[in-house]
Amino acid sequence: MAHSILVLYGSYRSDRTGIRLARHLVGALGARGARAELVDAREVGLPMLDRMYKEHPPGTAPANMEALAGKIRAADAFLFVAGEYNWGVQPGLKNLTDHFLEEWFWRPAAIASYSAGRIAGARANLAWHGTLSEMGMVVIPSVLTVGPITAALDEAGQPTGEAGAALAKSFPRFAAELEWWAEASRRQRDHQPPPY
The pLDDT tens digits of the residues spanning 121-176 come to 999 999 999 999 999 999 999 999 999 999 999 999 999 999 999 999 999 999 99
Beta strands in the chain (DSSP E): 4-9, 35-40, 77-83, 108-114, 138-139, 144-146
Whether the predicted pLDDT of 60 surpasses 90: yes
Per-residue pLDDT, averaged over 61-70, amounts to: 98
pLDDT of residue 12: 96
Whether the predicted pLDDT of 76 surpasses 90: yes
Mean pLDDT, all residues of the chain: 96
Tens of pLDDT, residue by residue over 107-121, are: 999 999 999 988 899
pLDDT of residue 45: 97
Residues contacting residue 113 through CB under 8 Å, at least 6 positions apart:
81, 82, 83, 84, 120, 121, 122, 124, 125, 128, 143, 144, 145, 146
pLDDT of residue 118: 85
Q: What is the DSSP string of 130-166?
A: HHHHHTT-EE-S--EEE-SHHHHB-TTS-B-HHHHHH
pLDDT of residue 119: 87
Whether the predicted pLDDT of 1 surpasses 90: no
pLDDT of residue 106: 97
Whether the predicted pLDDT of 196 surpasses 90: no
Amino acid in the structure at residue 125: N
pLDDT over 70 for what percent of the chain? 100
pLDDT of residue 68: 98
Per-residue pLDDT, averaged over 76-99, amounts to: 95
pLDDT of residue 22: 98
pLDDT of residue 67: 98
Structural domains in the chain, CATH included, are 4-191 (3.40.50.360)
pLDDT of residue 135: 97
State the pTM of this model.
Answer: 0.96
